[in-house]
Amino acid sequence: MPTDQFSVEGRNAIVTGASQGIGRTIAERLAADGASVAICSRAQERVDPVAEGIRDDGGRALAVECDVRDREAVDAFVEATVEEFGGVDLLVNNAGGEFVAAFEDISENGWKSIVDLNLHGTFHCTQAAGAHMRAGQGGCIVNVSSVNGQHAAPNESHYSAAKAAIIRLTETLAVEWADDGVRVNCVAPGLIQTPGVADTLGIREESMPARETVDRRIGYTEDVADVVQFLASDAAAFMTGETVTVKGVPRPGNSFDVDLGLE
C-alpha cells in the first residue's frame, strides 16, 4: 500500500474541543498533513491561538466559538466551516469531559451535564456535519469515547454511560450511513496526559505510578492523534463501526482501581 494512503491531505475537517489536550493535537496533526481544519471550543480566546499556530506553520485553520451542547451554535459552526472550506468530509467528535463522584452523590444536573457534553454534543455535531457528508461525496467520522466506556468505571458512572453510548452510536451509524459513503469509527483512549486530566483528576505525568502500560508511561495526545489520522485516512477505507482502544498493554480492571492519591 502506498504511504499516501495514510494521508488526510485535502480533507475538510472539523475537530471539536480543540483548544487543548487531545483535540488540539489531533487538529494540529491533521493540519500538518494537509487537511483544512475547523476547530471549536467554548471560548474564542482559547481556540484562536491554536488556529494561529496552525496558520503560522503553513496550515489552514478556522477557529469558532461553539459549545457542542448548543445545537444552534453547532449548526452555525458547521455552516461557517462549509462556507470557509467548501464542504466538510471529516468530523472528529472530541469535545468531552467529566468529574469524579460516586453515583449516589451525582445530582440530576451533574448527570445531565456530563451526558449533554459527551453524548448530546456528539449527536449534535454528527447530525449537522453528517448531513453535508451524506449530501455530498460521503465522509468520515471519528468519535472519541474512552476505555471507561468499555468497562465498569467506579465514580464515573455518568461519563462511563455516555462514553459507552458513543460506542453503540458508532456501530449503529456505521450501518445506517454505509450506503451514503460515510465511515464511522471510534477511539477509546486510556489515561492520556492532558490539561483536563491534570485539572479533573489531579494526575500529572510525574505522579503517574508505573501501572498503566507495559512500557511504564502515561499515554500522550500524539498516541491518540496517530490512530485518529489512520481512521480518517483511506488506509482505513475497509473499517467502519469499529472502536480502537489506545491504552498501552491490556490489563484487568479500570483506570481507577488503584490509589491515585486523589485529594
Ligand X SMILES: NC(=O)c1ccc[n+]([C@@H]2O[C@H](COP(=O)([O-])OP(=O)(O)OC[C@H]3O[C@@H](n4cnc5c(N)ncnc54)[C@H](OP(=O)(O)O)[C@@H]3O)[C@@H](O)[C@H]2O)c1
Beta bridge partners, 128, equal none
- For ligand X (CB under 6 A), the number of binding residues is 31
Q: Which of 96, 130, 158, 243 binds ligand X (CB under 6 A)?
A: 96
Cell digits of residue 236: 482505513
Q: Is 240 helix (H, G, I), strand (E, B) or coil?
A: coil
Instruction: Give the separation between CA 105 and CA 249, rounded to whole angstroms.
Output: 32
- CA 188 → CA 35, 100, 112, 147, 166, distances in Å? 23, 19, 22, 5, 10
95 forms part of the interface with ligand X (CB under 6 A) = yes
Looking up cell 483535540 gives: 23
Of 62 and 68, the one with the shorter C-beta distance to ligand X is 68
Find the catalytic residue in 77, 85, 159, 177: 159
CA angle 176, 145, 95 (to 5 degrees): 100
189 forms part of the interface with ligand X (CB under 6 A) = yes
Site map for ligand X, 130-159, x if CB under 6 A? --------------x-x-------------
39 forms part of the interface with ligand X (CB under 6 A) = no
78 forms part of the interface with ligand X (CB under 6 A) = no
159 is catalytic: yes
Residue type at position 42 = R
Q: Is 156 helix (H, G, I), strand (E, B) or coil?
A: coil
Q: Which of 6, 42, 161, 217 binds ligand X (CB under 6 A)?
A: 42
CA nearest neighbour of 109 among 160, 163, 158, 43: 158
Of 120 and 183, the one with the shorter C-beta distance to ligand X is 120
Closest approach, Cβ 18 to ligand X, in A, equals 6
Beta carbons within 10 angstroms of residue 258's beta carbon: 11
Q: Which of 14, 164, 174, 197 binds ligand X (CB under 6 A)?
A: 197
Catalytic positions are 159
- Residues of this chain that interact with ligand X (CB under 6 A) are 16-23, 40-43, 46, 67-69, 94-97, 117, 121, 144, 146, 189, 191-192, 194-197
